[in-house]
Amino acid sequence: MSTCRYSKSLFPVMECLIDTYSETGRPVGFTAIQKCVGERHGRAHPEQVRRGLDSAHCLGYLKVVVGKYGAKYVPTLDGVVYTGVYTALALNLGFVDELPQHALFCLLRLVRSGVAMLSWAEAFNTLLEIQEGKDASRREILRRKLIDSLVTTKALLGIEVRGLEPRFYSRILTYIWRRAWFPIAIPPVFREAPGHQYLLKLIRGFVGASCG
């Protein structure tokens, strides 16, 4: 990871790749990603998108599929996991891109571990609810929740999920970023100056102590 250059377009590109791949069920071309990133994040310049794709490929967040009409892209589960964690951090903190690269990726790994434990606990509790014998409609809701929890837990733990349909990728992404709010819940006062700078120093110190 240390040899991979981080780009601020990395996660906007990954978000668009994951959503488009989930919708179409097929590898995604450069033009489709560029259009999505431009509409959602205002980063439509080809070089910005290219940097995001290069960074994602180096980190193992996507695979390149070369076909008759050129290169297309498919997200990996690792890419989905880290995009979900980053999204939660960005929404909750708002300044994660100000962290040094090593600190950002360390923080992503730490939060990933926390969400993995939450996801496992949720899967276990959901299984207990199903065994309690709810009505048919409730059991079906719980069954879908259990599947999402188990699949996401495996992805968070780095365990291969064979035969996973593309539509699950965006579901895993959403599942992770919603639950990643819990381990990083920050009072709003710390997201504004001067609390902003204090929190930034605090996170850098925490990450430094945790990852060296």
Q: What is the mean pLDDT of residues 130-147?
A: 81
The token duo for 51 is 């940097």
CA separation, residue 20 to residues 29, 72, 111, 207 (Å): 10, 12, 26, 33
Q: What is the mean pLDDT of residues 136-148?
A: 84
Question: Tokens 């926390």 identify what position?
Answer: 114
What residues form DSSP beta bridges with 75?
62
Contacts of 130 (CB under 8 A, 6+ apart): 139, 142, 143, 146
Contact 88, 184 (CB under 8 A): yes
Digit-coded pLDDT (tens) for 146-180: 888 899 999 999 998 888 999 999 999 999 988 77
Contact 196, 95 (CB under 8 A): yes
The letter for the amino acid at 119 is S
CA angle 41, 45, 47 (to 5 degrees): 115
Digit-coded pLDDT (tens) for 29-78: 999 999 999 999 988 899 999 999 999 999 999 999 997 878 999 999 99
Listed by start position, the domains of the chain span 10-75, 81-211
Contact 88, 107 (CB under 8 A): no
Rg of the chain in Å (alpha carbons): 18
Phi, psi torsion values for 193, nearest 5 degrees: -65, 140
Beta strands, E only, the chain: 28-29, 62-67, 70-75
pLDDT computed for residue 4 by the predictor: 86
Report which DSSP code applies to 93: T
Of the pLDDT bands very low, low, confident and very high (cuts 50, 70, 90), residue 183 is very low
- Out of 3.40.50.300, 2.60.120.330, 1.20.1560.10, 1.10.10.10, the CATH code matching 10-75 is 1.10.10.10
